[in-house]
Amino acid sequence: MSASATAEERLARLGLTLPAPPEPVAAFQPYARAGATVYVSGQIATRDGRLVATGRLGAEVDLATGQDAARACAMNVLAQLRAAAGSLDAVAQLVKITVFVASDPAFTQQPQVADGASQLLSEVLGPAGSHARAAVGAAALPLGTPVEIEAIATLATTVEPGMSQ
């Protein structure tokens, strides 16, 4: 895909439509802005308001399903970034994502699960989507989701469209 295409054009070429930014499931903001930096709270693996899967990788969830869950989380991260910035094209750099993977103790493929998100974020954001990353195993995650992702991004402008929600 062309690096000169906008993020919205890349989404369309991929046949994807961003969801409405998910509402938090507890007492926190879905994102916070500090100047040109946006901190996106942990986004769980939902589509159309429902979890795409439940359980732990290496037990109830296989690698392909885990990667799909990571993609769903990434879509929710993108939705929050668009809400924070007004447009995905205002994202100057996706600095870092942290991918939490609910894992059976013997499961060690957290990086491969996280690749489902990293690849999508790079495809949609182009060069601005290249990021640092941590993939962390967890005993359990909110609502039984197999994957949760938080993100840090910088924006091309410090104009505040809405600060936090």
Model-wide pTM > 0.85: yes
Q: With contact defined as beta carbons under 8 Å apart, do 102 and 138 qualify?
A: yes
Burial class from Cβ neighbours inside 10 Å (0-12, 13-18, 19+) for residue 103 reads buried
Contacts of 27 (CB under 8 A, 6+ apart): none
Tell me what pLDDT residue 165 has: 39
CA 69 to chain centre: 10
Residue pLDDT tens, the chain, 165 long? 555 789 989 999 999 999 999 988 889 999 999 999 999 999 999 999 999 999 999 999 999 999 999 999 999 999 999 999 999 999 999 999 999 999 999 999 999 999 999 999 999 999 999 999 999 999 999 999 999 999 999 999 755 555 443
Identify which of 87, 118, 101, 89 has the alpha carbon closest to the alpha carbon of residue 55: 101
Q: Angle at Cα 38 formed by Cα 97 and Cα 20, nearest 5°?
A: 85
Distance between CA 156 and CA 107 in Å, rounded?
Answer: 39
Q: What is the largest CA-CA distance in the chain?
A: 46
Distance between CA 43 and CA 71 in Å, rounded?
Answer: 11
Q: With contact defined as beta carbons under 8 Å apart, do 103 and 160 qualify?
A: no
